[in-house]
Amino acid sequence: MALQVSADGQTVFFNKVFGPGHQVTNRVKGLIGVGVTFEVAFLSIRAFLNEKPLESVKVTYSTTALIKGTAPDPVVAQNKHLISEWVAKLWKAQGAPLAKPAPIPLPTLKATPTAVVVKGWHGGFKPNIIPVVKAIRTVTGDGLAEAKVKAEAILAGTWVSLGVFPSLEIAKAHGLLLTAVGVDVDLQAGEVYDKGIVGPLTVEAPKPVPEVVALKDAKALGQKVHGTSAGSVYHTIAIGDALRVAARIIPGGLISIRAEWQGHPTEDLKRLAESGVSVKAEYASIHVDPQDVPLSRVIGAFLIGTNIKWNAAVMNGAELVVGA
């Protein structure tokens, strides 16, 4: 859905990036005064006059990161230069209008907290999940696994809140990042929403179940899984989109590492083979002699060395199950 932004809301980006009273911000206010409107998207800023598009500017970094001040200093300087030149060109083309003097401030009510709530998609096609995940991470600051769970829920048609923001205008600016990747956005005032969502969606990491399961079906780190031999039990140490990896660690002996998968993750299996893992029809395995190297370093080096993208993986030695 299209998000209409008020005149004050259009200056939020410029106030945050350049500051109130800066020449660029003042020129933007002058342009707004003669009917120019601005639309801040994920990687661009567009200008319109009487709903007809004027020249736009592409930035090299997320506009949200520029607003939040989380972009690297050289990137900020580069993009401020791009935007400044673009605004100067628009300003001259429209007759160098001056910003109207600010009105005497009157007492105002506190801004209403507003939530960005999303569901499904627009435009007649289902978005690719990858840009949706990236947009969610930009808006929420979530890790990959949490953002992926939310994206899957959104694309399955579930209403999901991505957070409550201090004002309607800030919520709209974040909503634009999601509409840019094809997701439907709704804005709900306050902390309780009429779609039955209370507060932002929280995602807890899956927990192991007591039963020993097939490794390819494991959903949690530490899950007990079957090995090749009867009675052999491994514990899950990494989970990818299709691939699962588990380890069996015996003190003073070899570390046995096993992988199973769902579907046909060809590239991941290729990376396993390149890491020295023996890949068979339904599973892959390798046995490593740790010698005097700490177990956590052996496991960490293996998982990193595969160059496989993991959604979850053990992060320290305390998460390893030894001798069980």
Here the tokens at position 143 are 């890790």
Under the banding of pLDDT at 50, 70 and 90, the label for residue 18 is very high
Report the C-alpha gap between 208 and 140 in whole angstroms: 27
**Alpha carbons 165 and 105: distance in angstroms, whole number:** 24
Split at pLDDT 50, 70, 90, the class of 110 is very low
**How many Å apart are CA 153 and CA 160, to the nearest integer?**
7
Query: Which pLDDT band holds residue 1 (cuts at 50, 70, 90)?
Result: very low
- pLDDT, average across residues 249-253: 82
pLDDT value of position 107:
41
> Are 173 and 139 a contacting pair, CB within 8 Å?
no
Q: Which residue has the tokens 């496991």?
A: 299
* Dist. CA 165–CA 116, nearest whole Å: 8
Residue 195: is its pLDDT beyond 80?
no
The first and second tokens of residue 180, run together, are 């840019």
pLDDT of residue 218: 94
Residues 6+ away with beta carbon under 8 Å from 210? none
Which domains, ranges and CATH numbers included, belong to the chain? 7-93 (no CATH), 114-189 (3.30.1390.10), 215-319 (no CATH)
The pLDDT tens digits of the residues spanning 199-237 come to 343 445 678 999 999 999 998 889 999 998 888 999 999
